[in-house]
Amino acid sequence: MRRLIFCGLMFFICLPALAQQTDINRYTLFTGFDYMISPARNLTERGFEGDFGVTVRPWLGLGGDFGILGDGIISGAGTISGGETVYAPLLSSFGIPPNSIQVAFKSTTYTFAVGPQFYLRKFEKVTFFARPGFGGIHETANIAFPPTLGLILPSVPNPHQTDTTYFVGLGGGFDLNVSRKIGVRFATDWVNTHLFSNLLVPRQNYIRFSVGPTFRWGHLH
């Protein structure tokens, strides 16, 4: 993960030398559809994302974004394997393969981030961008623990779990410039975090896809 972040930051630093586009808007607002997956937990969530940015240089913008995903918006459901929980050693001591236990859950996730966005404005019809991923993530999960777990575990965890923590990652994409003021954005972000550390041992990887219109106004002087 450190190598990926380092290589991404080096790429960001090199982008300014390639920027060539002029007549640039100062403000950008993005709203669109969000689709996020976490393969290890078989989790799929869909929802809404918004992003507001201020361009301070032709190659650099500053701003923030937020996303709302989950069953409260459209749908969000997955499974937790016993092998990734803190109870894996206990299950093994009873002769139960931890990965044989799959517990279903539904979740709602909120993400929020601020930071730079680096642009490559070499083409009139397409603007490419890249960004580091630093922010916070909040998730609520309703877990359907089987009643039989009460016969194995000393105490069954609360089925209603809530956690907030930070995330790191990388992202990027491109805007199709319909006009000077309107575009269509396609973006992908990789996020690494550790939610529910009291229950889950490994960190979680998320991949988020977003698409929607961008609205731009103002002039960069």
Of 41 and 4, the structure prediction assigns the larger pLDDT to 41
Share of the chain above pLDDT 70, in %: 86
pTM equals 0.85
- What is the predicted pLDDT for the residue at 69? 66
- Of 111, 197, 206, which Cα lies nearest the Cα of 161? 197
Which residue, chain included where needed, has tokens 């603007």? Answer: 127
- Of 135, 137, 132, which Cα lies nearest the Cα of 45? 137
pLDDT band at 151 (very low <50, low <70, confident <90, very high): confident
Mean pLDDT of the chain: 86
Residues 156-206: tens digit of each pLDDT: 889 999 999 999 999 999 999 999 999 999 999 999 999 999 999 999 999
Asked if 63 and 49 count as a contact pair (C-beta separation under 8 A), the reply is: no
Residues 65-114: tens digit of each pLDDT: 887 765 433 347 889 999 999 999 998 998 989 999 899 999 999 999 98
Per DSSP, the residues of 161-188 read: EEEEEEEEEEEEEEEEESSSSEEEEEEE
Q: Spell out a b/e string for 174-197, using b for 16 or more CB atoms within 10 Å of the CB, else e.
A: bbebeeeeebebebebbbbbebbe
Please state which of the four CATH numbers 3.30.750.24, 2.40.160.20, 1.10.520.10, 1.10.150.20 is assigned to the domain occupying 2-130+160-217.
Answer: 2.40.160.20
Residues 21-56: tens digit of each pLDDT: 567 999 999 999 999 999 888 899 999 999 999 999
CA distance 192 to 120: 25
